């Protein structure tokens, strides 16, 4: 094992050493590959496999996995909570502050997966407030929650946002207002390209995606519309109390968005 990688092979290579009492299980021979990244280790092992006689095809590691393995580790140091967040009244509960710190450590790109009723909306708004210089914020949510979001923004960020600075997109004929600080769009309308960027054509840099399990189906039109918007943003706060209901594969699109 090297970090959290275990290899299962039916061949031997000096790059790997067998695990005692576990036939067919190998771990990295650290002596031969000191200080080597996980992605490079996999590349080296696959290269060894391709040299074996009789091996016709060696399937490559999916690009998504390689992106995860080669990504920079998340810093573990504590990120100070900005004063503007501390000024929110009533103040955040300790576990909510921990959620905000978690998001800030990850540079504003995270999944908030707390159970229902624990204040994920407040945490998301607090994280968005930390990146106020990058506003306007795009909020993507189920249509039934659009005005709930507007009410929550006015309740928690009343010192920073006026009601006329929150735009709820109601129909495809609407146009995003240049003075809006928050733009709230339901999933169905995200298929309209004019709601995927700011009025000047630039990308939204802060995106909140509520009930993000709605994009678990890779074939769905809304999934294909929403994922690029999230990926182009500097900050992406995804929210779901049930990110994977049935299979771990349902997490794929959510995690892919955050890379």
Instruction: Report pLDDT digits (tens) over 63-112.
Output: 766 666 666 555 556 678 889 998 898 899 999 999 999 999 989 999 99
> 3-class DSSP state for residue 185?
strand
Q: Would 77 be classed as within a structural domain?
A: no
> 3-class DSSP state for residue 176?
coil
Domain that holds residue 245: 83-258
Q: How many domains does the chain have?
A: 2
> What is the structure's pLDDT at 39?
66
Q: Would 127 be classed as within a structural domain?
A: yes
Q: Kindly state whether residues 41 and 140 are assigned to the same domain.
A: no
Q: Kindly state whether residues 176 and 113 are assigned to the same domain.
A: yes
Q: Would 1 be classed as within a structural domain?
A: no
Q: Kindly state whether residues 62 and 180 are assigned to the same domain.
A: no
Task: Look up residue 28 and give its two tokens.
Answer: 């990295």
Q: Which residues of the chain have pLDDT under 50?
A: 1-8
pLDDT tens by residue, 208-227: 999 999 998 889 999 999 99
Which of 70, 103, 124 finishes a domain?
A: 70
Task: Look up residue 147 and give its two tokens.
Answer: 């005005």
Q: Kindly state whether residues 56 and 136 are assigned to the same domain.
A: no
Q: Would 148 be classed as within a structural domain?
A: yes
Kindly give, in sequence order, each residue whose CB lies less than 8 Å from that of residue 202, ignoring residues fewer than 6 positions away: none
């Amino acid at each position: 094992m090297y970090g959290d990688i275990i290899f299962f092979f039916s061949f031997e290579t000096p790059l790997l050493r067998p695990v005692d009492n576990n036939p067919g299980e190998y771990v990295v021979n650290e002596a031969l590959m000191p200080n080597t990244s996980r992605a490079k280790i996999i590349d080296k092992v696959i290269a060894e496999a391709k040299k074996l006689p009789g091996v016709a095809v060696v399937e490559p590691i999916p690009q998504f996995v390689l992106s995860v393995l080669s990504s920079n580790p998340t810093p573990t140091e504590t990120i100070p909570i900005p004063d503007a967040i501390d000024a929110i009244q009533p103040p955040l509960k300790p576990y909510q502050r921990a959620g905000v710190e978690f998001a800030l450590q990850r540079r504003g790109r995270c999944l908030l997966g707390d159970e229902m009723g624990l204040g994920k909306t407040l945490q998301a708004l607090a994280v968005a407030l930390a990146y106020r210089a990058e506003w306007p914020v795009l909020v993507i949510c189920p249509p039934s929650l659009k005005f709930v979001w507007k009410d929550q923004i006015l309740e928690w960020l009343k010192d920073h946002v006026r009601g006329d600075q929150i735009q709820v997109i109601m129909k495809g004929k609407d146009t995003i207002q240049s003075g809006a600080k928050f733009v709230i769009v339901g999933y169905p309308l995200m298929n309209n390209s004019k709601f995927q960027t700011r009025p000047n054509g630039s990308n939204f840099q802060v995106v909140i995606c509520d009930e993000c399990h709605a994009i678990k189906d890779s074939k769905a039109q809304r999934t294909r519309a929403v994922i690029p918007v999230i990926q182009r943003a500097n900050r992406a706060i995804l929210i779901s109390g049930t990110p994977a209901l049935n299979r771990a594969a349902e997490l794929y699109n959510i995690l892919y968005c955050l890379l």
